[in-house]
Amino acid sequence: MRIVLVGFMACGKTTVGDLLAKKLNKLQIDLDQAIVEREKLTIPEIFAKFGEDHFRLCEHRALLANIGKDAVITTGGGTPMRDDNAACLINSGAPVILLDAEIQTIVDRIGNDKNRPLANSLDVEGMAKLKASRQERYEQVANLKIQTDHLTPEEICQQILDFCQAWNEEDDLMTAVR
C-alpha cells in the first residue's frame, strides 16, 4: 500500500513517515531527500544557487518519479501548492494524510534548524501567514487530517493505520462491486 504524507514544515511528516514505513515494512521516500540526492546539494544550497522556482521544479519531478511506488512518501511543505502536484496527489489512488500542527508547535519544533530556507527568512507572524496561505490546498488534497500537536509519533501512526485499513476495505468492496 502507498501512503502519502503532506503538511506544513515541522508537522511530523518525516518522523511519522519513517516510523510508518518501518511498521509496514515499506520503503520511505522523502521527496526533500530525493531532491538532495539528485541535485547533490542541500536544500539551502539549491535555494541560494538556483532559487525557489528551480527547487519547486525538482520537487515536481521527484513527486512524479515516486508517486506510483509502493512506499510511504513524505512530501515537502510546498509540494501540494503547484496545481499539477495537487492533481497528482488527488488522483494517485493512495491515501493522502495531512499532518497539521499549531504555529507555536511548529516554531518550537524548528528551533534553530538551518536546513529550512523559508523558515529562516520568516518570523513567527510570517510563518503563520505562509501556513495559512497553504492550509486550504493541504485540506483539498488530503483524505484524512491529523492534528499532531499533542500526539506521539506512535499515536499518529496508529490513526493512519486505522484509516488505511478502512481505506483498503472500501477499495476491496468497490473492486468486488465492479
E strands, the chain, are: 3-6, 27-30, 71-74, 96-100, 144-147
Give the pLDDT score at 167: 79
> Helix 103-110 to helix 124-141 angle, to the nearest 10 degrees?
110
Give the pLDDT score at 174: 42
Give me the mean pLDDT over the 60-71 stretch: 96
Give the pLDDT score at 108: 86
Q: Give the C-alpha separation, 164 to 21, whole Å.
A: 13
Give the pLDDT score at 110: 82
Output phi, psi for 25, to 5 deg. Answer: 55, 45
**pLDDT tens-digit profile of 102-136?**
999 998 888 766 666 666 667 889 889 999 999 99
Give me the mean pLDDT over the 164-177 stretch: 62
**Which of 65, 69, 81 is closest to 28 using CA atoms?**
69
Distances (CA, A) of 160 to 52, 120, 135, 157: 31, 30, 20, 5
For the 3-165 domain, the top CATH level (class) is alpha beta
Domain residue spans of the chain: 3-165
Q: H or E element: which one contains 134?
A: helix 124-141
**pLDDT tens-digit profile of 23-52?**
999 999 999 999 999 999 998 899 899 998
Whole-model pTM over 0.85: yes
Cα 40 versus chain centre, distance:
21
* pLDDT at 11 > cutoff 50: yes
